[in-house]
């Protein structure tokens, strides 16, 4: 049954309300010497958010849209680079430094990414990204990379759905987090949830230890029939919380069998960590959060003002102004962002830690939150306001937009 959502106010009162849906909104690889030196230049100052565009269009009813955003403003994001220049956006060394990740790990892990339609240049684009940053090759020939359709066969592959930017971002973030992990790309026939469910089941059947999903749609009762596809004991499933800020949560991020991943703004600073994070919110979107009207409160979640499943559980970088480097052959280098960046990054981190059995759901994070960076500050209010409550505001401890925080090494994974 659909329930009324309880929303806290800044005064601590509990209000009953029904939330409305929030409305969101070819490069030369660097020299080996520069690549092995580590970090890239990081995101440049924004040349204007008009240069940020959604990779995927709005979805028809019963279909999902991807959450990837790409920034393509001037100043090094596109165009000719000198041989020793790294692309704009955070690279693998930056992300390892920000989240205190080891350089090695993930042996025996296979991280699957599920995307819609065929990306004909996925393997070649992945090679450019990994070569640019000095990561080991991950190819079909060496057994590290494989691409299949939603039935698990190498062919025939589906038609192009225009998701190449999403696929490139997913593969890059898994690679950045876990260079030794194998990668399985499962391409669904269409953007219907029935096809995504089939692809999800195929990824688990083919031996994926982690599965990343960077797509969704506003939760509804009609989508709950696909919930079982996102529950595979022994397989960790991450889902992007969406880029529409606070409101009704996104399916399948609202399921209690997945790790729901929110988003942050990540900046270098002179504190002890060397980095600072706040809730991501910009003119182009904000980290998705919300109280489920369809999924009951899990026993392991204890936030005060939501009687259902609260989104999200954990977070990582998602802001276009502090985004990550990504390459696809159609558009060249760009700065990728959205919770489409954070979800595969967290999937790769779970692979790096090597314990997918910890994640039949997100409960392990809730008993190991000391291994996360608490994100305090910022709000994801775009349309609907929560009165300063934790559901839309970065606060000490748990909050909706960033969950329990961001990775601080592997102890929470």
Q: How confident is the model at residue 283 (pLDDT cuts 50, 70, 90)?
A: confident
DSSP string, 356-398: GGG-SSSHHHHH-GGGEE---S-B--SS---TB-TTTB--SS-
Q: How confident is the model at residue 385 (pLDDT cuts 50, 70, 90)?
A: very high
Question: CATH assignment of 5-407?
Answer: 3.40.50.200
d(CA 131, CA 345): 19
Confidence at residue 72, expressed as pLDDT on a 0 to 100 scale:
81
Question: pLDDT > 90: what percent of the chain?
Answer: 82
Confidence at residue 21, expressed as pLDDT on a 0 to 100 scale:
33
Confidence at residue 10, expressed as pLDDT on a 0 to 100 scale:
34
* Cβ atoms of residues 406 and 315 within 8 Å: yes
Confidence at residue 85, expressed as pLDDT on a 0 to 100 scale:
82
Confidence at residue 44, expressed as pLDDT on a 0 to 100 scale:
45
Mean per-residue pLDDT, 211-233: 97
Q: How confident is the model at residue 241 (pLDDT cuts 50, 70, 90)?
A: very high
Q: Which of 200, 193, 138 is nearest to 171 (CA)?
A: 138
Better-scored residue on pLDDT, 99 or 49: 99
Q: Which of 288, 341, 284, 293 is nearest to 316 (CA)?
A: 341
pLDDT (tens digit per residue) in 139-181: 999 999 999 999 999 999 999 999 999 999 999 999 999 999 9
Confidence at residue 218, expressed as pLDDT on a 0 to 100 scale:
96
Q: How confident is the model at residue 27 (pLDDT cuts 50, 70, 90)?
A: very low
What tokens appear for 325 in the block?
């480097």
Better-scored residue on pLDDT, 11 or 306: 306
d(CA 249, CA 289): 6
Confidence at residue 51, expressed as pLDDT on a 0 to 100 scale:
85
Mean per-residue pLDDT, 262-277: 97
Domain ranges (residues) in the chain: 5-407
* Cβ atoms of residues 277 and 220 within 8 Å: no
The CA-atom distances, in angstroms, between 9 and each of 16, 305, 308, 344 are 11, 10, 18, 33
Confidence at residue 329, expressed as pLDDT on a 0 to 100 scale:
93
Confidence at residue 31, expressed as pLDDT on a 0 to 100 scale:
33
């Amino acid at each position: 049954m659909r329930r009324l959502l309880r929303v806290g106010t800044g005064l601590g009162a509990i209000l009953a309300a029904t939330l409305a849906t929030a409305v969101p909104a070819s490069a030369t690889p660097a020299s080996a010497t520069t690549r092995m030196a580590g970090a890239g230049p990081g995101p440049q100052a924004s040349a204007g958010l008009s240069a940020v565009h959604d990779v995927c269009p709005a979805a028809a009813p019963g279909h999902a849209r991807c959450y990837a955003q790409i920034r393509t403003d001037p100043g090094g994001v596109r165009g000719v680079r000198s041989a020793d220049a790294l692309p704009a956006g955070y690279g693998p060394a930056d992300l390892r430094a920000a989240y205190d990740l080891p350089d090695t790990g993930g042996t025996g892990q296979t991280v699957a990414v599920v995307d819609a339609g065929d990306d004909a240049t996925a393997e070649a684009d992945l090679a450019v990204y990994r070569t640019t940053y000095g990561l080991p090759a991950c190819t079909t020939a060496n057994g590290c990379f494989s691409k299949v359709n939603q039935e698990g066969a190498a062919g025939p592959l589906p038609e192009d759905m225009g998701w190449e930017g999403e696929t490139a971002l997913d593969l890059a973030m898994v690679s950045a987090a876990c260079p030794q992990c194998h990668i399985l790309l499962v391409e669904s026939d269409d953007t219907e949830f029935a096809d995504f469910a089939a692809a999800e089941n195929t990824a688990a059947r083919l031996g994926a230890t982690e599965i990343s999903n960077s797509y969704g749609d506003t939760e509804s009762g009609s989508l709950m029939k696909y919930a079982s596809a996102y529950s595979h004991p022994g397989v960790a499933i991450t889902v992007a919380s969406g880029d529409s800020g606070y409101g009704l949560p996104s399916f399948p991020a609202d399921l209690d069998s997945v790790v729901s991943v929110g988003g942050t703004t990540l900046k270098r600073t002179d504190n002890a960590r060397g980095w600072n994070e706040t809730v991501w919110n910009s003119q182009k979107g904000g980290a998705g959060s919300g109280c489920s009207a369809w999924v009951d409160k899990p026993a392991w979640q204890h936030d005060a003002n939501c009687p259902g499943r609260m989104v999200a559980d954990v977070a990582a970088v998602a802001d276009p102004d502090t985004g990550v480097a990504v390459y696809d052959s159609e558009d060249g280098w760009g700065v990728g962002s959205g919770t489409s960046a954070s979800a595969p990054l967290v999937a790769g981190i779970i692979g790096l830690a090597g314990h997918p059995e910890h994640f039949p759901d997100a409960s392990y994070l809730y008993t190991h939150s000391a291994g996360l960076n608490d994100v305090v500050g910022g709000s994801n209010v775009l349309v609907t306001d929560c009165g300063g409550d934790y559901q839309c505001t970065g606060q000490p401890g748990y909050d909706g937009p960033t969950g329990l925080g961001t990775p601080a090494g592997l102890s929470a994974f």
